[in-house]
Structure 1
Amino acid sequence: ILSFQTGPEGGPQFPIIEWSTYWYKHLFGLTPPSRIAPLPINEALVRSLVLSVMTMIVSTVLGVTSAQAFRRRFPGSGVVFYLIVLGMMVPGVLVGLGMALVANALGVDRHWWGTAFVLHVVYTYPFAFLVMLAILNRFDQSVEEASWSLGVSPAHTFRKVTFPLIFPGVLSAMLFAFTLSYDEFSRTLFASGRDLTLPLAIYGTFSVEVHPNVFAFGV
């Protein structure tokens, strides 16, 4: 509602002073110059989308393969399980700060496609893993056994039989990983270096003063 406030004098107050689409035009640079600068979202948006897609692919692949491995008990499986889910349990501020300190100690430059990407995978991978673990725990293994009994290799069985059946779960894991990465702030704050992702860019605009263009972009 606040995104339809009049501009540029209208702020984030309610009730609405006057209904307007000014702030939507402001997003696309279709308004006269004013004291309110445009949101710095162009490069940041592309950066966040690329980072989220990269994270989604890697986390989903890791989640599917590791959940597949956990269908059978193996020595140390309990330890491995808690090591995987540790990434979603540790507070993001601690992980991000830790990555920054390690990178500085080793002389590694921090970038959104490097250190931040690693932290995003560490954070989103457990979610993809748990989703796929739940899906595979309900999976009927008899269809795989039928394929194996006909002489089909395990790899071909997974590609032609197992994967199509678990694909809804794979899609859920992909959406989890993408959304969590796209929205991640605390881990990215310490690990992305000079290049800002979308949450960081938006935070930088309203850390001093909030304008309805933020709400328009949110819509």
Structure 2
Amino acid sequence: MGDKRPRSFYILAAFFIAYVLFLYGPMFAIYILSFQGPDGGLTFPMNGVSLTWFGKVFSGAGIVDIGAAFKRSLKLGLVVMVLTVLLSVAAGMAFRRSFRGASILFYTAIASLIMPSIITSLGIALEFRLFDDFLIQHGANGGLGAWAKDWTTAMGLFTSGLGAHLTWTLPFGLLIMFAIFNRFDGRLEEAARDLGATPWQTFRHVVLPIILPSVVGIGLFGFTLSWDELARSSQAIGSVNTLPLELQGLTTTVTKPDIYALGTLTSAVSFLVIAIALAVILILQARQRRHGSDAGQGMM
């Protein structure tokens, strides 16, 4: 207990502190600078303290329609979250049994993790452009008439944009579900079936309560990855911009701290979603422990 720490400990501690400051220092600098006064700039020292720049963000003064971009990103993130959860759970249940082509399907599903994001975005955009060209050129001959003649594009927030984001979120959801089901005790399902439960009842009352904390985590992954996604949105989002794309455009034109206030608000949304997800997971885990304790006492 009384031994002195070696010199290597202090060297490594200093290196770790420097790493943390390098990693999170710019983020905290943005948070602080977003609270500057009306005459504040983009660098230190701060010129007063106020909420002026947050008011300008909400009013849209001096920058693009951030409110619309915020709503688009929020809607897209929620849809991506729901689809990621549903598809991941369904795939996790399906892969519990071997079937022909399972390995090929698995590696195809997670291949987008190793593909450069911009390449994925360009590929999706090209696919939709080819579809648009084909529809415009041959739609009239197929009986679509004036509708095909006036066609512009199928690219949009909930078509190509949604697909691009799912190529990023689904592999994470699949890997989480595979890990969960690899250590799932199948005897619990057998016991439920022995008691007369149907497959749906077994899933609803036995499987789902056990995997629910992990399902919440998958939803958290789905929303936050979609909320912050930039590269996969850049070419495949269509004629509208998500909030990250608007932020990227503003970094080259905005010369006032309203861009910092916007960054603070977007980070606050991410932290809020993470806090809600963690709170739900803790509540579910506490509920499972309580039910397990009650079941044990009942057996005694």
Q: Is this a same-fold pair by TM over 0.5? A: yes
What secondary structure sits across from 2:235 in the alignment? Answer: helix
**Number of residue-to-residue matches in the alignment:** 213
1:175 aligns with 2:220: yes
Q: How do 1:117-196 residues align onto structure 2 when only pairs under 5 Å count?
A: 117-196=162-241
Report what 1:209 is aligned to: 254
In 2: Cα distance, 1:21 partner to 1:44 partner? 21
- Counterpart amino acid of 2:42? P
1:2 to 2:47 alignment: no
TM-score, normalised with respect to structure 1: 0.90
Deviation at 1:161, TM superposition (A): 1.0
> Contact conserved, 1:3 with 1:212, CA < 8 A, in 2?
yes
Shift of 1:208: 2.6
Following the alignment from structure 1 to structure 2, what is the Cα–Cα distance between the partners of residues 51 and 29? 23
Structure 1 residue 218: Cα displacement: 2.4
CA positional deviation for 1:102? 1.9
* Matching residue of 1:110: 155
1:210 CA displacement:
4.3
Q: Of 32, 38, 57, which residue of structure 2 is paired with 1:27? A: 57
Root-mean-square deviation (CA, aligned residues, Å) is: 1.8
Q: Confirm or deny: 8 A CA contact 1:27 1:39 kept in the other structure.
A: no
Looking at secondary structure, tell me which structure has more helix per residue: 2
Whether contact under 8 Å (1:24, 1:217) holds in the other structure is yes
- State how far apart, in whole Å, the 2-side matches of 1:181 and 1:28 are: 22
1:6 deviation in Å?
2.3
Cα displacement (A) at 1:118 = 1.1
Local SS of the residue matching 2:112 = helix
Give per-residue Cα distances to partners, 1:107-151, cap 9 Å, x unaligned: 143111111111111221111111111122222211111001112
Q: For the pair shown, which has the larger CA radius of gyration, 1 or 2?
A: 2
Distance 1:60 1:169 in 2: 10
5+ long unaligned stretches in structure 1: 31-35
For structure 2, the residue ranges without an aligned partner over 5 or more in a row are 1-31, 133-152, 265-300
Provide the identity percentage: 37
SS at match of 1:4: coil
Structure 1 segments, 4+ long, off by >6 Å, are: none
Of 96, 116, 121, 1:91 maps to 116
Structure with larger RCO (C-alpha < 8 A, sep 6+):
1
The letter of the residue matching 1:6 is G
- Given that 2:56 and 2:62 are in contact with CA atoms closer than 8 Å, whether structure 1 keeps it comes out as no
**Aligned twin of 1:200:** 245
Deviation readout 1:52-92 (Å, 9 max, x if unpaired): 11111111111111111222333332211111111222111
Q: Which of 76, 80, 103 is the matching residue for 2:105?
A: 80
TM-score, normalised to structure 2, is 0.67
Range 80-89 or range 162-171, more displaced:
80-89
SS at 1:180 equivalent: helix
Whole-angstrom CA distance in 1 between matches of 2:121 and 2:256:
29
Query: Deviation digits for residues 14-59 of structure 1, max 9, x if unmatched?
Result: 12133332212222339xxxxx704521111111111111111111
State the alpha-carbon separation in 2 of the partners of residues 216 and 184 from structure 1.
19
Structure 1 residue corresponding to 2:96, chosen from 58, 71, 75: 71
In 2, Cα distance between equivalents of 1:141 and 1:15: 61
CA–CA separation in structure 2 for the residues paired with 1:49 and 1:184: 12
